[in-house]
Amino acid sequence: MTESRLQRSILIVDDEWDSKVVRSVRKRLDEEGWRTNVVVPFDFIVSGDDFEAEALYAIEEDRPDGVVLDVRFGEHGSDRFKGLAILQKIVEHHPQLPVLMFTQYWKGPDREIAVRGTLKWDAQVDFIDKFASPEEVVMRLRRLMGTTPDTIRIGDRISIDNANEVVYVHDADKATPVTELHGLRFDILQELASTWYSSPGEVVPFAKLMRYTEGEDPRASIRVRIREIKVAIGKAMGVQFGAGDLIINVRDRGYRLAPPE
């Protein structure tokens, strides 16, 4: 189920608050309909402690739905992992608040220090390379927060409009609706796509898909519907999907989505 787009807000806490990286992320979040609030220092010279105080105040005042928090603040040794100290304070006071950590320590000798800092807390915390694309940042935020976007892109040529329950095939600037995919067929594809979006490669078990079946043999009904989905999308794309394409049967477990290359 998609969220009401205007109900989500994200707090960004980063000492490079006016950098190209942060501005690009804000722009992408704004395009998705999320309100962003950035902790901006009032003085020319600030420390990690200043950002900590402002961040905690902003959380109390604005009650954001998620936080993007940098690991490192400033060049001083004491601020090297200041973001982890801020994270600890957030988790202590707001344990259910999802926090996505920006870090340049995603690889290298300091990675374990950065990641190990979160293992003490049972919280919704994830790490991402600070130089990841804005699209990846938004996707990771959504996964962390447990939300599904209004539109899910499956590879370069397929998209699912969840709000209007329409599947599109894209060719250059043209989007063609796949009119055959409605009712149970759309519901099955939406279930597979939502699971893939939240956790790529995850299998949707037969038991979960059975609610979209008809007749006395649920697995046979699922198999027929999935074949119809693949045929309809393949026809719109001008391709023929095989057993190992688009939707894959994982023996004795269920099905998983595999976006076409």
Closest among 68, 67, 49, 70 to 59, alpha carbons compared: 67
Place of tokens 């994982």: 250
pLDDT at 3: 45
Give the residues of the chain that fall short of pLDDT 70. Answer: 1-7, 43-46, 74-79, 105-123
> Where are the domains positioned within the chain?
9-145, 151-258
- 58 and 39 Cβ atoms separated by less than 8 Å: yes
pLDDT for 169: 96
The CATH code for residues 151-258 is 1.10.10.10
- pTM beyond 0.85: no
At 205 the pLDDT is 92
Tell me how far apart the terminal alpha carbons of the chain are, to the nearest angstrom: 27
Cβ-contact 87, 99 below 8 angstroms: yes
Structure tokens at 154: 């499956």
- pLDDT for the residue numbered 189: 96
Q: State the Cα–Cα distance between residues 1 and 208, nearest whole angstrom.
A: 16
What is the per-residue pLDDT for 176? 95
- The reply to whether 151-258 shares the fold of 9-145 is no
Looking at residue 84, its pLDDT comes to 85
Cross-strand partners of 38? 12
Pick the CATH number of 9-145 from 3.40.50.80, 3.40.50.2300, 3.40.30.10, 3.90.120.10: 3.40.50.2300
